Amino acid sequence: MVASIEAEANGVAKDIDPTAVVASEPLPPLVAENGKLLGGAGHEQKEEKEIILGKNVHTMCLEVTEPESDDDFTGDKEAYLASVLARYRKNLMERTKHHLGYPYNLDFDYGALGQLQHFSINNLGDPFIESNYGVHSRQFEVGVLDWFARLWELEKDEYWGYMTNCGTEGNLHGILVGREVFPDGILYGSRDSHYSVFKAARMYRMECVKVDTLLSGEIDCADLRIKLLANKDKPAILNVNIGTTVKGAVDDLDLVIQTLEYCGFNHDRFYIHCDGALFGLMMPFVKCAPKVTFKKPIGSVSVSGHKFVGCPMPCGVQITRMEHINVLSRNVEYLASRDATIMGSRNGHAPVFLWYTLNRKGYKGFQKEVQKCLRNAHYLKDCLRSAGISAMLNELSSTVVFERPADEEFVRRWQLACQGNMAHVIVMPNVTIEKLDDFLNELIENRLTWYEDGKAQPPCLAEDVGSENCVCPLHKS
C-alpha cells in the first residue's frame, strides 16, 4: 500500500514542490524518514508538548486566511494551498509507515470510488424506508446490513440496523435500545470495557455497575454473579466485549448468559449488547472460537467499519432485533420517514465503501486476513519474549501487550497506545513481518540505551498480565 501511495505521490511531486513556501503562510511540519519533525531548515524539533486542554493543536494549527481581493494574488494562493496539501500528504505517508498501536487496517484501495466524491450522499432516517431526499446510498447500506445479519445469524425479517459513524455510536445505540426496553435496568460493564460504555451511562443517566476483570482482561463472571444477585429486583443491561480495548480480551458470552440464568434472570429480564468494534469481524473466522450469534439471547451487536474491514473514514454497523426497535422509532414528517438512529444526517459514502470491499474480499478473503494477523501477532509476541521483554497475547486476539517503552518519543513515533506500564501493538492486515522486524530492531536497540546504566529497570507487568508473562528483573527466571 505504501509503495502505491509513494508512486502516486511522486506523480504529484512532478507538478508541485511539497517544500515550496509562500511568504507569511504556515505549513504543516515536515516529518522525516526517521519519523521526527523537521523545522523549516531541516532541524529536528526536540521540544516536548505538554498536554493542556485547548492548547496542543493551536500550537501547530493551520490558520484559515481570507483570499486577496485582487485577482493578481489568486495564483499565489492556489500555489500555497497545493503546497500545504502536498506536504500534509507526505506526512500521512510517513505516519502510515509507523502505525502500530491503533486498530485500523490501512491496507485498502478505493480508487474506483473517486468518481463519487462530487456528490453529497446523505442517508437520512430509517435505512429501510424511502425518504424525500434522493441523493442517498440506502441500497448499498441495506446490502451491507444483510451481509452482517447473515454473519451473525439473524433473518432479514427479524433484524433492524444501520451504518453508524463509528464504533462508539454503535455502543451508544445498543445500550440505548437496552435502556428503552428496560427503563429501570442497570447497566453492567467490565472495567476493561471501552470508555464509550461508561459515556453512555452518563449520557442516559443510567445506574452503572463496573465488573472486575481477570488478568486477561476478560470479564470476571464470579464478580458479575455477586453484583447481579445484589440487584435482582432490576433488569440487567450488559455490555459484552468481543475484544477489549487494551488487551484484546474476549468476554465469554456463554458464561455471561449462564451467570444471568443462574442469578434468576430470565431472557425477558436482560439485554446484552456485544461490542465487537474490532474483533467482531475477526472472531467468526477464528477456528474453535465461540460464536457471536443471535441464536443466543443477545439484543445487539456493533462493529467498526474502519478497523478490520479497512475504510478511509470512521464508520460502523449496528444490528439489533426488529422487535426491539419500535421502542426507539419515531415518525419524522420532515423526512417522510421514520428514525431510530443516534445521528440525523449519516455519511452516505461509507456504505458504498464497505459494500465495495465486502464484495471484493468476501468471507474467504477475511478468513485469510484473520489467519495472517494471528500468525504475525504470535511472531511479535515470541520475538519480544526472546528478547527478554514482558509480553502477553490472548488466545483469540491479535493485540500484543508488552512493557511500555521508556521514551515517549519512541511511543509517538510508532503511535503506540499505552495504559500504565503497558503498551500494545495491534496486528492488522497492513502490518507485515518486515514492519514488525523494523519495530523490534528499533525497540531492542533503544532499550540498550534506556537501561544501560543499571539505574533504571524495565517495568514489572505481573499485576497487569500475570507473573508468567512478566520477565522484569524480579520475575526473570
pLDDT of residue 54: 59
Query: Rounded to whole angstroms, what are the CA distances from 238 to 51, 253, 363, 460?
Result: 34, 11, 29, 33
Say if residues 319 and 127 touch (Cβ distance below 8 Å). Answer: no
Residues 283, 56: Cα–Cα separation, whole Å: 38
At residue 409, the 3 state secondary structure works out as helix
CB neighbour class for 438 (10 Å; exposed up to 12, middle 13-18, buried from 19): middle
The residues near 115 (Cβ < 8 Å, ≥ 6 apart) are none
**Local confidence band at 40 (pLDDT 50, 70, 90 cut-offs):** very low
**Local confidence band at 66 (pLDDT 50, 70, 90 cut-offs):** confident
Res. 403: pLDDT tops 60: yes
Residues 450, 170: Cα–Cα separation, whole Å: 41
Percent of the chain, pLDDT > 70?
85
Enumerate domains of the chain plus CATH numbers: 116-360 (3.40.640.10), 362-469 (3.90.1150.10)
**Local confidence band at 78 (pLDDT 50, 70, 90 cut-offs):** confident
Res. 6: pLDDT tops 60: no
Lowest mean pLDDT among 62-71, 188-197, 434-443: 62-71
Is 397 in the active site? yes
Lowest mean pLDDT among 364-378, 389-403, 463-477: 463-477
Res. 2: pLDDT tops 50: no
Res. 10: pLDDT tops 50: no
What tens digit of pLDDT does each residue of 252-303 get?
Answer: 999 999 999 999 999 999 999 999 999 999 999 998 889 999 999 999 999 9
Residues 260, 237: Cα–Cα separation, whole Å: 11
Query: Rounded to whole angstroms, what are the CA distances from 411 to 36, 133, 417?
Result: 12, 46, 8
**What rounded mean pLDDT belongs to the chain?**
87
Mean pLDDT, rounded, for 138-156 = 96
The residues near 89 (Cβ < 8 Å, ≥ 6 apart) are 9, 12, 18
CA dihedral 42→46→47→50, nearest 10 degrees, is 110
**Beta strands 337-339; 399-403: pairing state:** unpaired
Cross-sheet strand order for the sheet of 399-403: 391-393, 399-403, 422-426, 417-419
At residue 360, the 3 state secondary structure works out as helix
Q: DSSP H helical segments within 191-252, as ranges?
A: 195-204, 221-229
Residues 427, 435: Cα–Cα separation, whole Å: 10
pLDDT of residue 318: 97
Pick the catalytic residue: 304, 337, 397, 398? 397
Cα angle: 299, vertex 305, 307; to 5 degrees: 110
pLDDT of residue 73: 59
Give the chain's length: 477
Residues 277, 245: Cα–Cα separation, whole Å: 9
